[in-house]
Amino acid sequence: MTIVSEATPSSDSMRSRDATVRRFALTDTVFRESTRFSAILVLLILGGVAISLFAGSWEALSKFGFSFLTTESWNPVTENFGALSPIYGTIVTSGIAILIAVPIGIGIAVFLTELCPRPLRRPIGIAVELLAGIPSIIYGIWGLFVFAPFLQTTIQPFIINLFHDVPGLSSLFAGPPYGIGLLTSSLILAIMVLPFITSITKDVFDTVPAVLKESAYGIGCTTWEVTRRVVIPYTRVGIMGGVMLGLGRALGETMAVTFVIGNAHRISASLFAPATTISATIANEFTEADGSLYTSSLVALGLILFVITFIILAIARYMLMRIDARTGA
């Protein structure tokens, strides 16, 4: 009687399985440690940038103190520097740009996902996304030589005459019509951030399950009601992410704003008046900074922009947490 042994095939199978398990375990370990290293690296880079900015701006901060944030004067000759004008210009231009771009961007996204004929969705979507690929200096040149003269000769005189006798608005839209200024740079920024907001909003709108929208349409909801009650609440986090991305682009934009804002270190109530931003000031004057205090003041402006961006993102994250807690998400 011959006994056939199955020990050898079983042993080979066990060894193969053990090797596969060890390989999977090694791959999982490498992946886990790589992602952990990447996360730590981001924090180290962020901390390094903050430390470098603080060290470079220490001379200006120690000399001027808190008055650096509240002083409008910027005089390299007397080495008297204040950041109030660039801070004001940065916040105002970015705020106006977001107020203009967000409703338009969301409206375009709603049109592309809910109303646009299917053959036109892709061409229009590509056309909107192509705006994001245009270099900022092209926006600046177009704004200076085409858009600003158009505003100067048509739009600004009309608005000045329209609100000439209206209390409050008369000072907000006071002349003369320079063409360049806060409003012009805000409109250019709105055009520049529009494709980012539109593209991200459209992508998150596409993630809404079709059954949710079909159910809403089935009970008689209109497109407006479906968008307001279903689509936007479902994608609010993604929409906020797109808005924050656009706001970050607006806060840090340099060349386009430098061309059309006027680069004047003064604060005016009129949106037509020339002004400056933090990025524009650094770009215009960093190569001319021939003293350590001058250079330190420009680096301090960079630190302020870093802090402003961090605070705005923190507030946005807090708002999202409050929304999630209120809705029980």
If we measure between CA atoms, which residue out of 64, 257, 58 comes closest to residue 72?
Answer: 64
Is residue 204 within 8 Å of residue 231, measured between CB atoms?
no
Task: Tell me the C-alpha distance between 299 and 310, whole Å.
Answer: 17
Q: What is the pLDDT of residues 223-280, one digit of tens each?
A: 888 888 888 888 888 888 888 888 888 888 888 999 999 888 888 888 999 999 999 9
If we measure between CA atoms, which residue out of 92, 60, 62 comes closest to residue 74?
Answer: 60
Is residue 275 within 8 Å of residue 89, measured between CB atoms?
yes
What does pLDDT average to over the chain?
Answer: 86
Return phi, psi of residue 81, to 5°.
Answer: -125, 140
Q: How confident is the model at residue 2 (pLDDT cuts 50, 70, 90)?
A: very low
**Residue ranges with strand state E in the chain:** 74-75, 80-81
pLDDT above 70 covers what percent of the chain?
Answer: 95
User: What are 172's two structure tokens?
Assistant: 């907000």
Q: What is the pLDDT of residues 14-23, one digit of tens each?
A: 777 777 778 8
Q: Give the max Cα distance, the chain.
A: 116
Q: What is the pLDDT of residues 273-304, one digit of tens each?
A: 999 999 999 988 888 878 889 999 999 999 99
Is residue 69 within 8 Å of residue 161, measured between CB atoms?
no
